[in-house]
Structure 1
Amino acid sequence: MAKRLIAFADEHPEQALAWRIVDDEGRVESGGECVIEDLPRMGGGAVVLVLPGDRVSVQRAVLTARNDKQLRAAAPFAIEDDVATDLDDVHIALGPVDSVGAKRALHVVATEYLDMWLNAFEGSGFTIMDVSADHALLPNSDNIAQVLALPQRWIASADQWSGSVDRHLGQDVLEAVLASVQPDAETEAGPDMEMLEVGDAFDYLAARTIDKHVSLLQGAYQRRNASEGAAMDWRRWRLPGALVAACGLFAIAGTAFEGAALRQKSDEARAQTETIFREAFPQVSRVVNPRAQLRTQLAGREGGASEFLELSSMLAGAVEDNEGVDVQAMRYDRGQSELQVSIAFKSYGDLTQLKDRIIASGGAVQEGGSRQSGDLRLGEITVTQP
């Protein structure tokens, strides 16, 4: 059964932080408190990061756009009067629209704070699979606010909004905040709310990470979560051509060998095939027939094998001998017939070279956002047929 490590951020990465390990059904198996370097390693260092809710505010605004890219572009202008800091210093993640269908939740976090935690984990060899605010993990109802009491804060959610209120301010302030986000639910006794009774707050929130919630890893911070089945983590592979190589190995492994030496080669090929398959599709817990399972992964969830391999081959050729670019993850969108790629690059010259090579091989490239992370920039590109 798959397990995931949940880490709860605090003020600074050098401090000890709470952690939990949960299975894929949300059961907490273990937990504790330690510094990042001493955290247990699960799934090759994959970790889900939960930020304290007082570091992530949620604004609601009316946005009209045809796609997420346009929504992200419009979001800062919609909330510029409600955010105290410079909009260039914050990252905005798109949330859902409220029950009336008028206002969209926008999760706002300081890029300096988010980068500090991402760099701390990545610098210690961890792979961040998801980031969210603790209040974003609460159940959300259109009619009643859900409130969880933490030692210093209340976290609450209501009608696609969520947030944090300092307990020292008193319950009157909490009720006033909830009344402002769900005015139709207010009664003579105050806003309609439910205080959640849980044993351990960290256990409860860790278990909630398996449910749908707003992830902060959007836009320039987007990551492909290999555990979700549609993504493939390529951090241990220099080229996405590893999957192309796997297909070649499948052909070898499917050949009838005779004699002890040839049988040994066949066994080695099958073992190498299984290794590559597990690296490409870590969400598959049991590998019985990697050749057949690869066909299922490509033709089923990942789209047509020929389209995927053609686009990934273009990418492999473009990355080859380009020491300034590393492919970190990629995902094939069958509906759009496009290969979405997360990359790390040293300079914009390296990125330009990558794009030029893809175009020269017959592909088309659309560049997404990027952000600085140490000496590298992390960004997104989309590879398609012209």
Structure 2
Amino acid sequence: MADLFILLPEAMDGAPLYGWRQYGRWATGEAPPAGLTDPAAVAFVPGTSVTRHEVHIAARKPSEARQAALFAIEDDVAEPVDRLHIALGTPGENDQRAVLVTSAADMAAWTAWLAANGYPSADLVAAHSLMPENADLYEAPGEYLVRKEGRVFAVDEQTPEDLLQLLAPQPPGAVYGAQLARKLGTVPAGEGARDRAAYLQMLAEGYEAATPGSLLSLRQGIYAIRSPFSLGWARRWGLVGALAASVLVLWLASVALETSAYRSQTDALRTETARIVNSAVPAANGNVQEALATLRQTQRTGAASVRATMASAALYEALGESDNAEIRSMRYDAASGQLTALVVIANYAEADAIAGRLEEAGLNVRLGQARQTGERVLGEFVIEGAAT
């Protein structure tokens, strides 16, 4: 049972929201409650930062299964595997497994923030993993949760209405949230989360109601929560310490072992934190505060660039005037604010025409590599916001 719940912001330079139970009621605040020491904490990450996939994995060894999963989802996310972090679900029917995918940079930033703020063992759960079972679409601050054809995912609340209608199930089904229902031209089945406090409470209650082991945690691989070494069983010998000198010796030995174990855990935690920081921001040389400052600066740079949803919507519109144009993949780099798309078009001249329409929409476009595929051309478009 968790003592403290944390709703992490979309950008790590934003303020997290804390939630906890107080006298049987929910309390929230931008700071944790006073007097709560070493709590069992759970952090919820934005659903838009994590995608969910279903893949067939026959491998049984954890290392082999993770490697197979990485290559199985590589084409879906159009991102190099060394820049991804995945979490594997348990094997299901016909060796099907759920796979959560997020960027390695985001995962490093989340775990570094938790370690720096005193929650190194906090669990990390994607928001859409706790979407209410009776909802097909759910309105939340900053994002919409969607359930379609057995899969759950999240989209940015700034997604254009025409694109949102394409992503939503048809018919929309049970829509929670008045604004989301209006965009989809339907009647809401109930309220969504009006603010971050309501959203955090919904996620926390869903976490508490979930069957143990049913939720897929992002804390896997190098970010797995280490089981603490405990000698609690040895403390019970202290109750009979007065009965014999031999028992007293055992009790003293247990104290010495516990002290040594705590020191080892502290050293291991410092080493693990430094390793995570170095993997995310090598230039920080293990300095957590410097790494967080670098990650915040990266977030600010991304925040000034074009949104992925806006760039993809402009690309779909630009392709509308081209016959038989087909998008093969899209990849968004949050650090640089660039959307890279592979598009099949009729000829090389069509690439210049599409780029021209995107530039008319106020975007910068760079044409990457292109190659002939049969009678058609596979071209690369790199789209970013116009320079100010």
Query: Which residue in 1 is equivalent to 2:44?
Result: 50
1:90 equivalent to 2:84? Answer: yes
Q: For 1:200-258, what per-residue CA distance to the aligned partner results, in whole angstroms no more than 9, with x for missing partners?
A: 2221112222224211001111114xxxxxxx535xxxxx6x45xx52x5445325549
Q: What amino acid maps onto 1:51 in structure 2?
A: V
Query: Which residue in 2 is equivalent to 1:208?
Result: 206
Distance of 2:241 and 2:3 partners within structure 1: 38
When residues 157 and 271 of structure 1 are mapped into structure 2, their CA distance, relative to the original with a 3 A threshold, is farther
Q: What amino acid maps onto 2:204 in structure 1?
A: A
When residues 13 and 152 of structure 1 are mapped into structure 2, their CA distance, relative to the original with a 3 A threshold, is closer
When residues 112 and 11 of structure 1 are mapped into structure 2, their CA distance, relative to the original with a 3 A threshold, is same
Larger Rg: 2
Distance of 1:204 and 1:320 partners within structure 2: 36
Q: For 1:331-368, what per-residue CA distance to the aligned partner results, in whole angstroms no more than 9, with x for missing partners?
A: xxxxxxxxxxx984989xxxxxxxxxxxxxxxxxxxxx
Report the 3-state secondary structure (helix = DSSP H, G, I; strand = E; otherwise coil) of the residue aligned with 1:92: strand
Distance of 2:138 and 2:41 partners within structure 1: 24
Distance of 1:10 and 1:320 partners within structure 2: 32
2:88–2:98 CA contact under 8 A, matched in 1: yes
When residues 85 and 320 of structure 1 are mapped into structure 2, their CA distance, relative to the original with a 3 A threshold, is same
1:22–1:207 CA contact under 8 A, matched in 2: no
Distance of 1:5 and 1:31 partners within structure 2: 10
What is the deviation of 1:21? 0.9
When residues 219 and 87 of structure 1 are mapped into structure 2, their CA distance, relative to the original with a 3 A threshold, is same
2:86–2:100 CA contact under 8 A, matched in 1: yes
Q: For 1:20-63, what per-residue CA distance to the aligned partner results, in whole angstroms no more than 9, with x for missing partners?
A: 1148xxx65210225xxx66564515421111111112233222
| Percentage of pairs with the same residue | 22
Distance of 1:194 and 1:4 partners within structure 2: 31
What is the deviation of 1:324? 11
Query: Which residue in 2 is equivalent to 1:33?
Result: 30
1:233 equivalent to 2:233? Answer: no
1:120 equivalent to 2:113? Answer: yes
1:8 equivalent to 2:2? Answer: no
Return the match for 1:61 from 55, 58, 61: 55
Q: What amino acid maps onto 1:65 in structure 2?
A: A
When residues 344 and 97 of structure 1 are mapped into structure 2, their CA distance, relative to the original with a 3 A threshold, is closer
Distance of 2:119 and 2:266 partners within structure 1: 20
Q: For 1:244-323, list aligned pairs within 5 A.
A: 247=234, 250-257=236-243
Report the 3-state secondary structure (helix = DSSP H, G, I; strand = E; otherwise coil) of the residue aligned with 2:121: strand
Query: Which residue in 1 is equivalent to 2:330?
Result: none
Alignment size in residue pairs: 260
Q: For 1:114-163, what per-residue CA distance to the aligned partner results, in whole angstroms no more than 9, with x for missing partners?
A: 211211221232233200111111245xxx76321013321123566321
Report the 3-state secondary structure (helix = DSSP H, G, I; strand = E; otherwise coil) of the residue aligned with 1:80: helix
When residues 40 and 119 of structure 1 are mapped into structure 2, their CA distance, relative to the original with a 3 A threshold, is farther
Distance of 1:29 and 1:271 partners within structure 2: 43
Distance of 1:251 and 1:222 partners within structure 2: 33
5+ residue gaps, structure 2, are 177-189, 287-388
Distance of 1:113 and 1:95 partners within structure 2: 20
What is the deviation of 1:13? 3.0
5+ residue gaps, structure 1, are 180-185, 225-231, 235-239, 281-315, 329-341, 348-368, 377-386
Report the 3-state secondary structure (helix = DSSP H, G, I; strand = E; otherwise coil) of the residue aligned with 1:12: coil
Q: For 1:262-289, what per-residue CA distance to the aligned partner results, in whole angstroms no more than 9, with x for missing partners?
A: 9xx98xx99998x99xx99xxxxxxxxx
1:325–1:345 CA contact under 8 A, matched in 2: no
Q: For 1:145-184, list aligned pairs within 5 A.
A: 146-157=136-147, 161-170=151-160, 173-179=163-169
Return the match for 2:221 from 212, 219, 225: 219
Q: What amino acid maps onto 1:216 in structure 2?
A: L
When residues 324 and 146 of structure 1 are mapped into structure 2, their CA distance, relative to the original with a 3 A threshold, is closer
TM-score for the superposition, normalised by structure 2: 0.53
What is the deviation of 1:110? 1.0
Distance of 1:326 and 1:39 partners within structure 2: 28
CA RMSD of aligned residues (A): 4.6
Distance of 2:274 and 2:15 partners within structure 1: 32
Report the 3-state secondary structure (helix = DSSP H, G, I; strand = E; otherwise coil) of the residue aligned with 1:233: coil
1:157–1:163 CA contact under 8 A, matched in 2: yes
Q: What amino acid maps onto 1:253 in structure 2?
A: L
